[in-house]
Structure 1
Amino acid sequence: MAAVATTPEYNSLPTDEAELKACLRDPNWRIRNLYKVKNKQKRIVPFRPNEAQERFLRTFWYRNVIPKARQRGFSTLIQLLALDMALFLPGSDAGVIAQDLDTAMEIFSSKIKLAYDHLPNIIKEMVPVTSSTLTSITFGNGSKVRIGTSMRGGTPNFVHVSEFGKISAKYPDKAREVLTGTIPAVPDDGLVFIESTAEGRDGAFYNLASEAKADADSGRKLTPLDFRLHFASWWDAKEYELDPEGVVITEKDHKYFDGIEAKIKRKISLRKRAWYVTVRRKTFGGDQQMMFQEYPSTFDEAFSVSMEGTYYAEQIAQARKDGRFKEHIPVMPGVACFTFWDIGNSDGTAIWVIQKIGMEWRCIRFKEGWGEPYSHFARWLQGLGLTFDTHFLPHDADHERQGETTNKSPREMLEGLLPGHRFEVVPRIEEINWGIQHTRDVFSMLWFDETECKDGIIHIENYRRKWNERQACWSAVPDKTGGHSEAADGLRQFAQAHQAGLININRGSTKRKRTGSWRTN
């Protein structure tokens, strides 16, 4: 697809009719000279693309996904492109999707309608408004721009989804509708823009951006239906600078910036470093995790843990700071392992394999599955070649009846599948939030193998409260619909077993043979 912009052209509106018509046929000229926006100081000014916007104008594709830092101007630019298409391509149907109706109406009034209202009169006479509401505007050339929380009906040829990360996190059904209903309705030569700050390594926005990144990394030629990745950080924004005099930048901060420089292959000036640490302190109270989310330095940083609504974001951030997430943790031979399970009738099964070395509880393996029999997990454990001490099961393992051909409890079935293994049931805790707090309390003892436990880590990063759509707030109970609760509940069995003093590490397990099963001497 040809780029919209080539070189900046900032001119006044031509007075000669022939020259004006020539300029209006050129989208490069129009986007730089026709429109006005409200800047950060709330003043209405001519739109002039910044560096990131210029780069985007040169490289955008039919389908585009944009993980970004805050206030880089992508939302404004894309909405101007929507208006421009509606004005100069008769019969266009442009739609903007926002996370909630209030946000949608604010976008419409402060960007799209403002830009049209401040057009030169001659343009408004050429393309007059025939109808206008709080969420839509229709023009005399048959085009329209509409905005809302979904885009049902019609066949839009331009779609902008704003803050899709938040939509994915809070309204997964809406996110699914965007992916399965709205975007497929856009013709192959239409335009789709999906932009957002990130909300953790989970959900539709993360999946879409990750696939686009994989395509970018591989160099694969994109089809019009593939998404092109556009990542916008904070360090290439000219305005994100501050006089470093009086700003305390620690040795640890400099080490972080030096590491980012090595990754991005460019320098981060002292003025930019001063801006970053000041925003972290003044805006986010020193919370590094919020900087990762709102002002990411890299793609991976953008999709690190989102704090909003999650149970363990603070503990995970501290663990990463302490270096307790490792690419690989070696298994110590001759040292028995413990397993901690979550099982259920309709829910999935999740197992953490943890080995204690000194004061460290090392999460070295993770397994999950839905609709699999217990024999599937028993074979996996036997195939690991590890020595096991005790398997800790949730409270209902002694009385739940699963399957139509047996009246055995889960514990009895597992004992039959793994003869000689020791099983213990963790007592029920009446209030799940107590168990969650126990998990927070013991988190400082945990180490994680990021390779072998990748899926489990993503689950506990994204284990969060259920969103109450009616009251627009996070509820007090966990969300069981996202597929994260099984892994989190399995890890909670470790915390509750530890809290209850059930884990006995003095049974002489180091003397047992490394056979893959625990047997009494």
Structure 2
Amino acid sequence: MTLDELEKNLSDPWWRLTSGFLYQILIKGDEETEGLKAPFIPNEHQINFIENLWYRNIILKARQLGFTTMIAIYYLDCCLFGKGDTRAGMIAQDKYAADKLFRDKVKFAYDNLPPEIKARFPLARDSASELLFAHNNSSITVGTSMRSGTLQYLHVSEFGKICAKYPDKAKEVLTGSIPAVAPNGIVVIESTAEGDEGHFFNMTETARKKKEAEAELSQKDYRFHFYPWHKGQEYQLDANIYITQSEHDYFDRIEQACDVKINLLQRNWYIATRDNDFQGSSELMWQEYPSTPEEAFKKSKEGCWYTEQFIKVRREQRICTLPVRTDVPVNTFWDIGNSDGTAIWFHQRVGMQDLFIDFEEGWGEPYAYFVKIMQSKGYLWGKHYLPHDGAHARQGESKNLSPQQMLKNLGLTSVEIVPRVSELLHGINQTRVALMNDVWFDMDRCKNGLKHLENYTRKFNSHAQTYTSEPVKTDGHSEAADAFRQFAQIRDQVGKTARKTSKPAKFARTFS
């Protein structure tokens, strides 16, 4: 290549990014090539993304498709060859991930530029998290937040995990880092899924619906990019893997839904990965290697208490349209927070079935508020069950009455107290047992309560990088879960005292 040819090529951003001449990356390789470097040549997913880049971008993806590597090199290229004073920032979920991203992707790519090219771009500052270039005062920084200054480029890696494990950091990204990007700058948020709630889920769903509606996007709107596992040719395995008929049926459904062909080698890879890497967990495969955008969020967050139980509930179609029996008493199960929320499940026992027909919740509302709602429903009331502290007088309340007495004064009769369990885990295990049995939910009236139950989560210990046995109490899910636990703790008693009735009419054939 002559000097003139080189200069012409260097003026072409596409050539710089795709030729493999300029940038090197670390590769995993095999046993003989582990840790070696290789020219960066973008794969088909990365090329598709670059071709469809927008001002604001959100990527829902399968694992290990190389988007963080590609974006690091793209941002580095913009700083090296762009106009002066360009600022690029990359956010990782924690300090370890940020240090690794900077060292192995940004700094590695710069250090391994061809010597004659690197000499053109001397560093004015080389810290553990930032490269500042002397030739044009542009910089690229990696950290866990990017609040100060104005950015032209921002990348947020694994935002779903940040939302799930570090909610304060997620809020900082939304309120500080993203607003720091210039209106005509570029934001890329990418992640695998982490449950069907939270900022990443909400942003993804908004962008996906706009794409489905073919809505025109403003510079503030996020463009939705989805990259499933079956579009990656690297996800194939030439081996003798046993695949059941139901598993083949699953792949066939995905082929039809996505208009793709999933060959035998791809099916082998999927089953082997699920069974060996994830101990047979379909939920983890949905999360880490989704086939469709909807499937990515089928798995509740890692660390949720009742994931396996709700798989069984949904498989048995026990979330459906339930009739309300006017001749059967309605029991209620409460969580009565002193300073936080109140949640109420409405229950009928019909034959051997426990039917949850309704759910209500509120924060900071007096008991009279909930009693008024109950009176408007017109149900035939049975018993009202409060947690163990429902008999304790509340300081500051009128005459220091207990919740039990206050509810009685408001007109509720048969208000009973559920005995306290010796350990919270015992109550949670009783809830797991209850959910595995003949418990049904109305899909519409219980929608919010079900979302809380499925997302009731253990606290994450960031130091040990594991989930504890202590539940999260600050995400709005624990009230509904604690209220439902009151039912589980006295389920046998409720069954014994329930009125004997005939079996209900067949439920409407609408399922969630």
Structure-1-length-normalised TM-score: 0.88
Checking the alignment, whether the CA contact within 8 Å between 1:63 and 1:191 is kept in structure 2 is yes
Name the structure 2 match of 1:399.
392
Checking the alignment, whether the CA contact within 8 Å between 1:363 and 1:447 is kept in structure 2 is yes
Post-superposition Cα deviations, 1:231-275, rounded to whole Å, max 9, x if no partner, equal: 2211111111223x6322112212222332333233323332222
Structure 1 residue 20 displacement after superposition: 2.8
Structure 1 residue 192 displacement after superposition: 1.0
Unaligned runs of 5+ in 1: 1-13, 512-521
Counterpart CA distance in 2 for 1:229 and 1:449 is 32
Structure 1 residue 385 displacement after superposition: 4.0
Do residues 46 (structure 1) and 39 (structure 2) align? yes
Which amino acid is the alignment partner of residue 272 of structure 1?
A: Q
Checking the alignment, whether the CA contact within 8 Å between 1:312 and 1:440 is kept in structure 2 is yes
Do residues 29 (structure 1) and 15 (structure 2) align? yes
Structure 1 residue 423 displacement after superposition: 2.3
Name the structure 2 match of 1:336.
329
Q: CA RMSD in A?
A: 2.3
Change (3 A) 1:414 1:510: farther
Counterpart CA distance in 1 for 2:52 and 2:218 is 15
Question: Which shifted more, 106-115 or 118-127?
Answer: 118-127
Post-superposition Cα deviations, 1:260-301, rounded to whole Å, max 9, x if no partner, equal: 233323332333222211111111111111111111112122
Change (3 A) 1:96 1:262: same
Q: Residue 241 of structure 1: which of 236, 239, 242 is its match?
A: 236
Q: Residue 266 of structure 1: which of 260, 266, 283 is its match?
A: 260
SS of 2:151's equivalent in the other structure is coil
Which amino acid is the alignment partner of residue 14 of structure 2?
A: N
Change (3 A) 1:68 1:403: farther
Structure 1 residue 472 displacement after superposition: 4.3
Which amino acid is the alignment partner of residue 240 of structure 2?
A: G
Name the structure 2 match of 1:15.
2
Which amino acid is the alignment partner of residue 319 of structure 1?
A: V
Structure 1 residue 332 displacement after superposition: 4.3
Name the structure 1 match of 2:426.
434
Aligned length: 493
Checking the alignment, whether the CA contact within 8 Å between 1:289 and 1:317 is kept in structure 2 is no
Which amino acid is the alignment partner of residue 10 of structure 2?
A: L
Which amino acid is the alignment partner of residue 138 of structure 1?
A: L
Name the structure 2 match of 1:425.
417
Change (3 A) 1:86 1:493: same
Change (3 A) 1:356 1:263: farther
Do residues 288 (structure 1) and 265 (structure 2) align? no
Name the structure 2 match of 1:75.
68
Counterpart CA distance in 2 for 1:441 and 1:109 is 48
Percent of aligned positions that are identical = 47
Q: Residue 483 of structure 2: which of 480, 484, 490 is its match?
A: 490
Checking the alignment, whether the CA contact within 8 Å between 2:163 and 2:169 is kept in structure 1 is yes
Unaligned runs of 5+ in 2: 30-34, 504-512
Structure 1 residue 83 displacement after superposition: 0.6
Counterpart CA distance in 1 for 2:290 and 2:329 is 40
Do residues 103 (structure 1) and 97 (structure 2) align? yes
Change (3 A) 1:510 1:321: closer
Name the structure 2 match of 1:443.
435
Q: Residue 408 of structure 1: which of 401, 404, 413 is its match?
A: 401
SS of 1:31's equivalent in the other structure is helix
Checking the alignment, whether the CA contact within 8 Å between 2:301 and 2:455 is kept in structure 1 is no
Change (3 A) 1:16 1:330: farther
Counterpart CA distance in 1 for 2:399 and 2:74 is 63
Change (3 A) 1:385 1:301: farther
Do residues 159 (structure 1) and 154 (structure 2) align? yes
Change (3 A) 1:361 1:15: farther
Structure-2-length-normalised TM-score: 0.90
Change (3 A) 1:303 1:63: same
Counterpart CA distance in 1 for 2:348 and 2:453 is 19
Checking the alignment, whether the CA contact within 8 Å between 1:342 and 1:349 is kept in structure 2 is yes
SS of 1:215's equivalent in the other structure is helix
Checking the alignment, whether the CA contact within 8 Å between 2:146 and 2:180 is kept in structure 1 is no
Structure 1 residue 44 displacement after superposition: 1.8
Checking the alignment, whether the CA contact within 8 Å between 2:393 and 2:400 is kept in structure 1 is no
Counterpart CA distance in 2 for 1:259 and 1:382 is 47
Do residues 345 (structure 1) and 338 (structure 2) align? yes
Change (3 A) 1:397 1:28: same
Which amino acid is the alignment partner of residue 435 of structure 2?
A: F
Name the structure 2 match of 1:389.
382
Name the structure 2 match of 1:325.
319
Structure 1 residue 196 displacement after superposition: 1.1
Name the structure 2 match of 1:300.
294
Counterpart CA distance in 1 for 2:101 and 2:416 is 56
Which amino acid is the alignment partner of residue 20 of structure 1?
A: L
Name the structure 2 match of 1:150.
145
Structure 1 residue 476 displacement after superposition: 2.9
Do residues 189 (structure 1) and 184 (structure 2) align? yes
Change (3 A) 1:309 1:152: same
Name the structure 2 match of 1:170.
165
Name the structure 2 match of 1:126.
120
Name the structure 2 match of 1:278.
272
Which amino acid is the alignment partner of residue 25 of structure 1?
A: S
Counterpart CA distance in 2 for 1:224 and 1:191 is 9
Name the structure 2 match of 1:226.
221
Question: Which shifted more, 234-243 or 169-178?
Answer: 234-243
Change (3 A) 1:414 1:444: same
Counterpart CA distance in 2 for 1:62 and 1:332 is 54
Checking the alignment, whether the CA contact within 8 Å between 2:452 and 2:480 is kept in structure 1 is yes
Q: Residue 57 of structure 1: which of 46, 50, 53 is its match?
A: 50
SS of 1:187's equivalent in the other structure is strand
Checking the alignment, whether the CA contact within 8 Å between 1:198 and 1:306 is kept in structure 2 is no
Checking the alignment, whether the CA contact within 8 Å between 2:192 and 2:288 is kept in structure 1 is yes
Alignment of 1:509-520 (within 5 A): none
Name the structure 2 match of 1:366.
359
SS of 1:191's equivalent in the other structure is strand
SS of 1:126's equivalent in the other structure is coil
Question: Which shifted more, 73-82 or 261-270?
Answer: 261-270
Change (3 A) 1:104 1:322: same
Checking the alignment, whether the CA contact within 8 Å between 1:305 and 1:462 is kept in structure 2 is no
Counterpart CA distance in 1 for 2:271 and 2:322 is 32
Which amino acid is the alignment partner of residue 337 of structure 1?
A: V
Counterpart CA distance in 2 for 1:268 and 1:333 is 51
Checking the alignment, whether the CA contact within 8 Å between 1:198 and 1:302 is kept in structure 2 is yes
Name the structure 1 match of 2:88.
94
